[in-house]
Amino acid sequence: MKIFQLRAVVAVAERGNFSEAALELQLSQPAISHAIATLEEELGVPLFARGRHGAVLTPAGERILYHARQAMQHLEMMQREANLHKGLHGGHVRIAAFRSVATHLLPKAIAKFHDQFPEVAVTIIERLSYIDVEQSLREGRADIGVTYLPTDNEFETWEILRDEYVALLPPKAKISSPQITWENIAAYSPVLLACLPCGRPIHNHIKNVAPFMNTVGDIQEDSTVVSMVNQGLKAAILPRLAAVPIPQGVQVYSLPIPLERVMGVAILCNALQVPAVFTFLEMLRKFDFDSLAKSTY
């Protein structure tokens, strides 16, 4: 039994006649007829009833068609597996992310991947915000992105981490209760927030739960914000991962009404990816980002 015989059975069954099947497979009609005839002889049963109206599957042919299709699917899977392994002897994965993820999470994940697949190059493309990350995916400048969830339907996404927003107060701040209040934070007006657009979740949160608070979000670098808090100049609210490393004296509190930013891996839906990208994605799905983030705090 030959592979081209199975392809011929599937093609004739789908097209309903030998001539159109021959065109699809780019073979002559006699070649298709011979392939079917020799297969019928080997199996000992007719697969098609031939007539003026084309070729119609016999009952035996219907059952054998099912197995022929299964065989073709398995052949395709075998080819994909082979291509996967061929591709992992080289290739390039480009992953776009904003600073806190690029600094604290991705290097360890890339190191783990490199231990298994040292011949695959992985590049981090730093972007200022999750919006820039998504635009890099749209423009084909990145294969994988780390962005905020939820996102547009044009992306296929997997959640990897929930990062808590925390209040950072100067070392000499006096808080009488272990649970901080919005008024405690507002005493250091204006309170520094993460800059837009990455800071949009916390900006909206403050508008809803503490609209009286005077805030500002025009400092691009999170490290600058933390340094200002450490010098006793301001209070700030940042995602915990964006704030690290937090100086020893800076006081860190959970917000009176908690908020998290939900981060996920994203790729463009229906985008054609090279084998190395698929393999790197599988590694990211299984990677324990939560434990890594906690060890960073």
pLDDT at residue 274 in the model: 80
pLDDT classification of 1: cutoffs 50, 70, 90: confident
Is residue 32 located within the same domain as residue 172?
Answer: no
Is residue 250 located within the same domain as residue 285?
Answer: no
Nearest one of 282, 295, 274 to 90, comparing CA atoms: 274
CATH number for the domain that contains residue 182 = 3.40.190.290
Is residue 184 located within the same domain as residue 130?
Answer: no
Give the whole-angstrom CA distance, residue 172 versus residue 248: 12
pTM: 0.68
Contacts of 96 (CB under 8 A, 6+ apart): 124, 125, 126, 127, 132, 133, 136, 137, 141, 142, 144, 145, 146
Is residue 154 located within the same domain as residue 269?
Answer: yes
pLDDT at residue 285 in the model: 87
Is residue 144 located within the same domain as residue 255?
Answer: no
3-class DSSP state of 54 = strand
pLDDT tens-place string over residues 181-218: 999 999 999 999 998 888 999 999 999 999 999 999 98
Is residue 214 located within the same domain as residue 228?
Answer: yes
CATH number for the domain that contains residue 156 = 3.40.190.10
Is residue 282 located within the same domain as residue 272?
Answer: yes
Q: What percent of the chain has pLDDT over 90?
A: 69
Is residue 99 located within the same domain as residue 129?
Answer: yes
Give the whole-angstrom CA distance, residue 97 versus residue 103: 9
Is residue 55 located within the same domain as residue 174?
Answer: no
Which of 69, 87, 105 marks a domain boundary? 87
Which of 25, 57, 87 marks a domain boundary? 87
Which residues constitute the domain of residue 17? 3-87
pLDDT at 79 > cutoff 70: yes
pLDDT tens-place string over residues 95-122: 999 999 999 999 999 999 999 888 889 9
pLDDT at 84 > cutoff 80: no
Which of 57, 87, 117 marks a domain boundary? 87
CATH number for the domain that contains residue 49 = 1.10.10.10
Is residue 142 located within the same domain as residue 276?
Answer: yes
| Count of structural domains within the chain | 3
Q: How far is CA 271 from the centre of its chain?
A: 12
Is residue 185 located within the same domain as residue 197?
Answer: yes
Q: How far is CA 234 from the centre of its chain?
A: 37
pLDDT at residue 297 in the model: 82
Is residue 173 located within the same domain as residue 143?
Answer: no
3-class DSSP state of 186 = helix
Residue recorded with tokens 């190059």: 121
